[in-house]
């Protein structure tokens, strides 16, 4: 089976190396595209029907409110044919509130990942993966959760070799 790379990323104002900067491409998208170069497969971007604000501070407040209320923001699209024909599934996301962004939870709760291998890649500015791997396991019972990779967002563009080595070590059904 071919790999599927699903990612959630946000351009606009972002926290990078201690300050807020304007990004035309989000750090997680940069990392996901490097992962795609390493493993090929299908690349799919998770997008909300109503995106978070372009403003960093407003986005943080929206994401925090979604996390506190357990919101599941509606997605604009889903991978054609679902996830059945893919393994492993690489999941790339930024650390929001110490875990997965709520749009990623929307995606994960939509499918049955039993028997699937999910390999998480989390971009952040120093907070690591937080509890996202534990939450991923809780949301996807029956899935095999591979060792996660934490990528510093400010260094995403320079992380191609790190990402390639991580992907080479990812579990597979071989």
pLDDT digits (tens, 9 = 90+) for 105-157: 999 999 999 999 999 999 999 999 999 999 999 999 999 999 999 999 999 99
- Note whether residue 129 is domain-resident: yes
How confident is the model over 15-40, as a mean pLDDT?
96
- Note whether residue 121 is domain-resident: yes
- Note whether residue 173 is domain-resident: no
1 pLDDT band, cuts 50/70/90, is confident
- Note whether residue 133 is domain-resident: yes
How confident is the model over 2-22, as a mean pLDDT?
95
Query: Is residue 45 classed exposed, middle or buried when 0-12, 13-18 and 19+ CB atoms within 10 A define those classes?
Result: middle
Report how many domains make up the chain.
1
What pLDDT is recorded for position 173?
Answer: 67
Measure the CA–CA gap between 1 and 22, rounded to whole angstroms: 38
Give the domain extent around 118.
Answer: 2-168
- Note whether residue 79 is domain-resident: yes
Q: What is the pTM of this model?
A: 0.96
Q: Is the predicted pLDDT of residue 163 greater than 70, yes or no?
A: yes
Sorted by sequence, the CB contacts under 8 Å of residue 110 that are 6+ apart come out as 78
- Note whether residue 174 is domain-resident: no
Q: CA end-to-end span of the chain, whole Å?
A: 9
- Note whether residue 125 is domain-resident: yes
What pLDDT is recorded for position 174?
Answer: 56
What pLDDT is recorded for position 79?
Answer: 96
pLDDT tens digit string along 28-83?
999 999 999 999 999 999 999 999 999 999 999 999 999 999 999 999 999 999 99
What pLDDT is recorded for position 172?
Answer: 76
What pLDDT is recorded for position 171?
Answer: 84
CATH number at residue 137: 3.40.50.360
């Amino acid at each position: 089976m071919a790999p599927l790379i699903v990612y959630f990323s946000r351009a606009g104002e972002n926290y990078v190396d201690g300050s807020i900067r304007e990004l035309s491409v989000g750090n997680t998208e940069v990392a996901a595209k490097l992962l795609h170069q390493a493993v090929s497969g299908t690349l799919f971007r998770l997008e909300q029907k109503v995106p978070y604000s372009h403003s960093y501070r407003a986005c943080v407040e929206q994401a925090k409110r979604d996390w506190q209320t357990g919101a599941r923001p509606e997605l604009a699209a889903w991978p054609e044919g679902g996830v059945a024909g893919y393994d492993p599934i690489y999941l790339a996301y930024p650390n929001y509130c110490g875990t997965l962004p709520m749009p990623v939870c929307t995606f994960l709760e939509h499918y049955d990942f039993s028997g699937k291998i999910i390999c998480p890649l989390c971009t952040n500015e120093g907070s690591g993966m937080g509890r996202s791997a534990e939450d991923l396991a809780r949301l996807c019972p029956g899935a095999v959760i591979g060792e996660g990779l934490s990528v510093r967002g400010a260094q995403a563009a320079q992380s191609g070799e790190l990402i390639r080595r991580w992907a080479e070590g990812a579990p597979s059904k071989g």
